[in-house]
Amino acid sequence: MTWLEPILLTIVTASTPLLLAALGELICERAGVLNLGVEGMMIIGAVCGFAVAHTTGSMSLGVIAAVVCSMIMSLLFGFLTLHLLCNQVATGLALTILGLGLSGLIGESFIGEPGHKLPQLELPFLSELPYVGRLLFAQDALVYISILGVILVSFVLFRTRLGLIIRATGDNHRSAHALGYSVRKVRYGAVLFGGACSGLAGAYLSLAYTPQWTEGMTAGRGWIALALVVFASWRPLRLLLGAYLFGAVSVLQFHAQAYGIALPSQLMSSLPYIVTIFVLVIISGNKQLTKINTPACLGKPFRPDR
């Protein structure tokens, strides 16, 4: 058991940013908006979180700054796609490019600066349980938030009226509009939630995963988060499963090397994408399933004819 625990711990840290970012994108896509700018929002969150935490010395302020800055990015995306009806794919890609560039500029003076790690919140008694104690109950706040977030999103999406409205908007925005719901308001809300989640994911990277700032430190995690949403066929609980699976795959290569098993790292890092393609092929074979879960209006701009 002693050799397993560190592996499992690294899986948790590798999976949490994926889970957080994908959770936001899931709500966004359920409302019918495809935001390909996750990577860009995430890295802005990472750099702003680190900068504020480093300057003020307050970790909480850092996390809040990450969330707010990513939300501003998502607001820009929302304004372009929901108000000006720009193409969502092109705008999302532009957002990623903007985020990567802007983060380099903001973070220039922070390269190489030592950072602090988010404190681990040890739950009394529970964290002393044998085997699982340290793994489950001695993590930092963002890990708990990511797990609670999955439960909360799942509950809201399938048990509440708000969730019903979000799903309805993504399924058929014309009908939602005809029934008197403001498609634009619902989508703004979803896009902002997506931004906030990406910000948390970014903050996790620069304040917990590797507590420092390096340029391009998101390293494609935003894209994996996007793939994850499809992998989970837009269901939050499957997202949890998928995030930990993808997280495990991405850290396994390091542990494999440590144990002298030679696996080409390129193969391992491409694995999440290969798995996603497989899942896509499998779910597209089942038309009924696809039809129920895929938001039918995903990526389509909506112009109310008023």
Partner 1 sequence: MPDELQTSGEDDHADYLIEARNISKQFGSTLANNCVNIAIKPGEIHALLGENGAGKSTLVKILYGALKASSGTLFWKGKPAEVSSPSAARKLGIGMVFQHFSLFDSLSVTENIALALPKGFKKKQLAEQIARVSHSYGLPLDPHALVADLPVGVRQRIEIVRCLLQNPDLIIMDEPTSVLTPQEAEQLFVTLKRLTDEGCSILYISHRLEEVQLICHNATIMRHGKVVHSCDPSKETAASLAQMMVGGEVHSITSHRQTATSKTLLEIDALSLEGSGPFSVSLKNISLQVQGGEVVAIAGIAGNGQGELFDVLSGETRLKDSYAIKYLGVPCGRRRVNARRRLGAAFVPEERLGHGAVPDMSLTENVLLTRHRSGDALVSAGMVNKSLCHALEARIIDEYDVRMAHPGSEAGALSGGNLQKFIVGRELDRRPRVMVINQPTWGVDAGAAALIRQSIIDLARSGAAVVVISQDLDEIYEVADRISVISRGQLSKAEPVATISREKIGLLMAGMAENQQDNEGPYAA
Where do contacts with partner 1 occur on this chain (CB under 8 A)?
A: 161, 164-165, 167-168, 171-172, 174-181, 287-288, 291-296, 305-306
* Nearest distance, CB of residue 28 and partner 1, angstroms: 17
Cα gap 21→137, rounded to integer Å: 22
For CA atoms 158, 163, 164, 167, give the dihedral sign.
negative
Nearer to partner 1 among residue 85 and residue 261 (C-beta): 85
* Nearest distance, CB of residue 205 and partner 1, angstroms: 34
* Nearest distance, CB of residue 234 and partner 1, angstroms: 10
Closest of 299, 32, 26 to residue 169, by C-alpha: 32
* Nearest distance, CB of residue 84 and partner 1, angstroms: 20
Q: What is the DSSP letter of 109?
A: G
CA angle 106, 112, 114 (to 5 degrees): 105
* Nearest distance, CB of residue 212 and partner 1, angstroms: 44
Cα gap 253→21, rounded to integer Å: 23
* Nearest distance, CB of residue 19 and partner 1, angstroms: 24
Cα gap 163→73, rounded to integer Å: 24
Q: What is the DSSP letter of 17?
A: H
Nearer to partner 1 among residue 62 and residue 295 (C-beta): 295
Q: What is the dihedral of CA 26, 28, 31, 35, to 10 degrees?
A: -120
Residue 121 neighbours by CB distance under 10 Å: 13
Cα gap 79→235, rounded to integer Å: 27
Nearer to partner 1 among residue 177 and residue 238 (C-beta): 177
Nearer to partner 1 among residue 130 and residue 287 (C-beta): 287
* Nearest distance, CB of residue 60 and partner 1, angstroms: 35
Nearer to partner 1 among residue 131 and residue 155 (C-beta): 155
Nearer to partner 1 among residue 54 and residue 167 (C-beta): 167
- DSSP collapsed to 3 states, 116-130: CCCCEEECCCHHHCC
For CA atoms 288, 292, 293, 298, give the dihedral sign.
positive
Cα gap 266→258, rounded to integer Å: 17
